[in-house]
């Protein structure tokens, strides 16, 4: 088995706000091995970004409380001081953010910003750092990197900026690359290129990737394992195959139904999940998806555990519904048109 | 730029004509003047002509260096030139102090936002902003320059040229510098504090942190640079105003014979030619520094640079 890089056990993150305690992440666990891609999917406010930023130590603050463990190669990152985290950020864990338009500092040249990351972790002179920066830009597919290295961010297109961000995140050869919705702000053709790039670089740099998105379609390409998050919790977890071909959680069906697909009969309108995610301050009792779930019944008022309910080991979900019932009815949500046609 | 200066001078002229007691001939002639006297004075000063012509003549005299005061016949340009070293000494010293301390105070205050040091700084800054310069200057002279009878820590006003005695020059300037700077320190500190607190939430600061930079480096290279841009505008205009003789009160309180002092004298005497000279002198600095601020902007923010 490949080296286990990251092990998150029952991670809980809460923030004290004026309105009350916000339980942004409530008991998330996963493991990540070298060479693997873990996808985290969920709506806005499901806690996926907070989870990712917590791994990097970016959510710390006077109002933040953490529980659980984030073991990186056996060391609990939650117990390391903020200045101690500086040796991990960038160096061991690299991160790419959602909006490449605002994530780069507008007043420094692209090359300066990447070289800054290299020089903060390794004792190299300016010239070496610059040479490595140019090489990195070449690897992420920036044409003509020798001259582009001296451009400012506003002289780059959105896709190129995200490539530059990836180059920056990979500049110190981190073992884990965390991509927090890296494609959300880009147009569709660029999205595909970025996903492909991340997947290729993961092999070149021999690292593991956590890919966060709200779009299941995006990670269908590259994820090995997928976690579906809802209201701060993991509601379903399994291999990509499990999630796409045998989804157990009505919330996952909703997500699947909202992706336009060419391999199914065309439907008039894509599925939408009614309602909005619950307030993280005032959580519904029992299953948190209950108020929006079309199949909710009496038992859903009790809290369902994250358990293996199907034949495939490792495929976990939080849903009380009978497996056979779900298999019979999920197509109505995932692909409404085809169910009637069949 | 030149249009702006022309407009400024014209407005100054208009104001002077409109205000009561504005006719200099009446005052120069004195109480026992005969109407003939007044007419002849008017004629000598060119005041009997169309006022646009008067204005234009005054400008011509000013720029050829021939403009003289209505009252004592001293050359306006020469008087301003004499005042420049004093005013520049005051402005440059105070500028360095207020910019330096403003940045320091604002940064400390932002970094420790909400803590005791931030509250103390905020309170002191508000006091500093609210203190009238004249009052503060007088207090400083009273307590620190020996007027109360306490040992004098500082000289009681006056100016020693830098070229004559640099040590005495510095010694004499300390109180005026501090008095003038206190107002600005408080103000700049407050503005910078809120700028920093805004910038800290920017995405690129999070990126810098994710790179593993030390918090000191993030603050210095990424946060401060972006936060200083609005401060540069403020500084450019404030500094220009003080250079152009705008620190009238400080100069008067400390008896510094600078451009502002000259302006104050001329206002009391309702002496138009010096006022015109001083106003244009000040306006020129404002205009020049507005340009310099734009240039500094391009340096600080490459997005503004022309391709």
A85-109 pLDDT per residue, tens? 888 898 899 999 988 888 999 889 9
Q: What is the pLDDT of residue A187?
A: 83
Question: Per-residue pLDDT for A140 more than 60?
Answer: yes
Instruction: Check residue B20 and give its pLDDT.
Output: 66
Judged against a pLDDT cut of 50, whether residue A339 lies above it is answered with no
Cβ neighbours for A257, distance < 8 A, ≥ 6 positions apart = A270, A271, A333, A334, A335, A336
What pTM was computed for the model? 0.80
SS3 B66: coil
Helix axes A158-170, A188-204, angle to 10 degrees: 20
Angle at B188 between CA B183 and CA B189, to 5 degrees: 100
Length of chain B: 307
pLDDT number for residue A177: 93
For residues A161 and B5, which has the higher predicted lDDT (pLDDT)? A161
- Joined together, the tokens standing for residue B200 give 């800290």
Q: Are A232 and A47 in contact (CB under 8 A)?
A: yes
Q: In sequence order, which ranges of B46-165 are alpha helices (DSSP H)?
A: 51-63, 76-111, 116-130, 133-144
Predicted confidence (pLDDT) per residue in A6-60, tens digit = 999 999 999 988 888 888 898 899 999 998 999 999 888 888 889 999 999 888 8
Residue A267 pLDDT greater than 80, yes or no:
no
Q: Which residue has the tokens 């597919």?
A: A141
CB A167 within 8 A of CB A153: no
* Alpha carbons B168 and A108: distance in angstroms, whole number: 44
DSSP 3-state of A70: strand
Chain A residues whose beta carbon lies within 8 Å of the beta carbon of residue B203: 97, 99, 102-103
CA A230 to chain centre: 13
Which carries the bigger pLDDT value, residue B2 or residue A245?
A245
Residue A48's Cβ-side half-sphere holds a number of Cα atoms within 13 Å equal to 27
Inspect the interface and report whether the beta carbons of B212 and A107 lie closer than 8 Å.
no
Mean predicted confidence (pLDDT) in A255-271: 74
Q: Which of B307, B190, B290, B158 is closest to B232 using CA atoms?
A: B290
CB contact, 8 Å: A172 with chain B? yes
**Three-state SS at B92:** helix
Which positions in chain A touch B217 (Cβ < 8 Å)?
120
Residue B144 makes CB contacts below 8 A (sequence gap 6+) with B150, B152, B153, B154, B175
Give the model confidence (pLDDT) of B118-170 as tens digits: 888 888 888 888 888 888 888 888 888 776 677 667 777 778 887 788 888 88
* pLDDT on residue B294: 87
DSSP of B235-265: HHHHHHHIIIII-HHHHHHTT--SHHHHHHH
Secondary element (H or E) of residue B298: helix B272-300
Element containing residue A38 per DSSP (H, E):
strand A37-41
Of A85, A103, A120, the CB nearest to B207: A103
Per-residue pLDDT, B194: 92
With an 8 Å Cβ cutoff, is A86 touching chain B?
Answer: yes
Would the CB atoms of A172 and B225 count as touching at under 8 Å? no
Beta bridge partners of residue A30, listed in sequence order: A8
Confidence of residue A265 (pLDDT cuts 50, 70, 90): low
What 3-state DSSP class applies to A337? helix
Tell me the pLDDT of chain B averaged across its residues. Answer: 83
- Residue showing tokens 């140019």: A134
- A279 interfacial to chain B (CB closer than 8 Å): no
Q: Distance (Å) from the C-alpha of residue A291 to the closest C-alpha of chain B?
A: 34
Helix (H/G/I), strand (E/B), else coil: A9: strand
For the cut 50, the answer to whether the pLDDT of residue A341 exceeds it is: no
Rounded (10°) CA dihedral A131, A134, A139, A140: 140
Whether A287 contacts A304, CB under 8 Å: yes
At A342, the pLDDT band (50, 70, 90 cuts) reads very low
Judged by a CB distance cut-off of 8 A, whether residue B222 touches chain A is: yes
| β-pair type (A225-230, A208-213) | unpaired
CB-count burial class (<10 Å; 0-12, 13-18, 19+) for A203 = exposed
pLDDT given for residue B63 in this prediction: 79
> pLDDT digits over A200-226, tens only?
888 888 899 999 998 888 888 889 999
Tell me which residue in A82, A91, A102 faces B202 most closely, judged by beta carbons: A102
At B17-36, the pLDDT tens digits run: 777 666 667 667 667 777 77
| CA B75 – CA B109 distance, rounded (Å) | 49
- A148: confidence class by pLDDT, cuts 50, 70, 90: very high
* Six-digit token string for B48: 């009997």
- What averages of pLDDT result for each successive group of 10 residues across chain B (307 residues)? 81 75 68 75 73 79 79 81 87 92 91 86 87 83 74 74 82 87 90 91 90 88 88 89 82 86 84 84 88 86 72
Q: Which of B197, B198, B205, B211 has the most A C-beta neighbours within 10 Å, making it the best mutation to test the interface with A? A: B211
Q: Is A212 helix (H, G, I), strand (E, B) or coil?
A: strand
Q: Under the phi-then-psi rule, with left for phi > 0, alpha for psi from -120 to 50, and beta for the rest, what region is B241? A: alpha
């Amino acid at each position: 088995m490949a080296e286990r890089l990251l092990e998150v056990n029952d991670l809980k993150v809460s923030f004290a706000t004026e309105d009350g305690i916000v339980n942004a992440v409530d008991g998330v666990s996963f493991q990540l091995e070298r060479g693997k891609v873990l996808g985290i999917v969920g709506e806005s406010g499901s806690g996926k970004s907070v989870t990712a930023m917590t791994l990097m130590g970016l959510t710390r603050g006077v109002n933040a409380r953490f529980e659980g463990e984030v073991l990186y190669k056996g060391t609990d990152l939650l117990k390391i001081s903020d200045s101690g985290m500086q040796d991990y950020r960038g160096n061991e864990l690299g991160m790419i953010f959602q909006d490449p338009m605002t994530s780069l500092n507008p007043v420094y040249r692209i090359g300066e910003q990447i070289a800054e990351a290299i020089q903060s972790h390794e004792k190299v002179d300016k010239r070496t750092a610059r040479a490595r920066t140019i090489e990195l830009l070449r690897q992420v597919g920036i044409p003509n990197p020798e001259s582009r290295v001296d451009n400012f961010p506003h002289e780059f297109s959105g896709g190129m900026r995200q490539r530059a961000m990836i180059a920056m995140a990979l500049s110190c050869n981190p073992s884990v690359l965390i991509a927090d919705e890296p494609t959300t702000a880009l147009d569709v053709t660029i999205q595909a290129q970025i996903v492909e790039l991340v997947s290729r670089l993961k092999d070149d740099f021999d690292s593991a990737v956590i890919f966060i998105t709200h779009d299941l379609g995006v990670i269908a390409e590259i994820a090995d394992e997928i976690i579906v998050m809802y209201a701060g919790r993991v509601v379903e977890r399994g291999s990509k195959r499990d999630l796409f071909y045998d989804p157990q959680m009505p919330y996952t069906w909703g997500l699947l139904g909202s992706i336009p697909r060419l391999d199914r009969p065309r439907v008039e309108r894509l599925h939408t999940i009614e309602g909005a995610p619950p307030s993280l301050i005032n959580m519904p009792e029992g299953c948190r998806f209950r108020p929006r779930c079309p199949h909710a019944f009496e038992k859903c008022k009790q809290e369902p555990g994250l358990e293996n309910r199907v034949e495939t080991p490792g495929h976990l979900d939080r849903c009380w519904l009978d497996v056979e019932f779900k298999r019979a009815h999920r197509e109505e949500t995932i692909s409404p048109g085809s169910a009637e046609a069949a | 730029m030149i249009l702006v200066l022309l407009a400024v001078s014209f407005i100054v002229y208009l104001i002077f004509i409109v205000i009561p007691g504005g006719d200099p001939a009446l005052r120069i002639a004195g109480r026992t003047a005969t109407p003939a006297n007044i007419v002849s004075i008017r004629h000598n000063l060119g005041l009997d002509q169309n006022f646009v012509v008067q204005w234009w003549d005054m400008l011509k005299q000013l720029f050829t260096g021939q403009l003289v005061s209505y009252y004592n016949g001293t050359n306006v340009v020469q008087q301003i030139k004499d005042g420049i070293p004093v005013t520049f000494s005051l402005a440059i010293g105070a500028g360095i102090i207020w910019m330096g301390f403003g940045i320091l105070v604002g940064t400390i205050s932002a970094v420790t936002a909400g803590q005791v040091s931030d509250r103390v700084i905020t309170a002191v800054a508000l006091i500093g902003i609210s203190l009238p310069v004249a009052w503060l200057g007088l207090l400083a002279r009273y307590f620190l320059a020996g007027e109360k009878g306490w040992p004098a820590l500082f000289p009681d006003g006056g100016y020693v040229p830098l070229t004559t005695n640099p040590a005495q020059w510095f010694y004499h300037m300390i109180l005026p510098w501090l008095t003038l700077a206190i107002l600005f320190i408080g103000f700049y500190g407050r503005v910078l504090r809120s700028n920093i607190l805004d910038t800290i939430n920017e995405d690129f600061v999070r990126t810098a942190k994710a790179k593993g930079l030390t918090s000191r480096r993030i603050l210095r290279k990424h946060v401060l640079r972006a936060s200083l841009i609005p401060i540069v505008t403020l500084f450019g205009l404030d500094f220009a105003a003080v250079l152009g003789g705008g620190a009238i009160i400080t100069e008067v309180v400390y008896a510094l014979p600078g451009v502002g002092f000259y302006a104050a004298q001329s206002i009391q005497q309702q002496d138009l030619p010096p006022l015109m000279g001083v106003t244009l002198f000040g306006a020129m600095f404002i205009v020049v520094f507005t340009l310099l601020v734009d240039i500094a902007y391009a340096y600080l923010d490459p997005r503004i640079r022309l391709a």
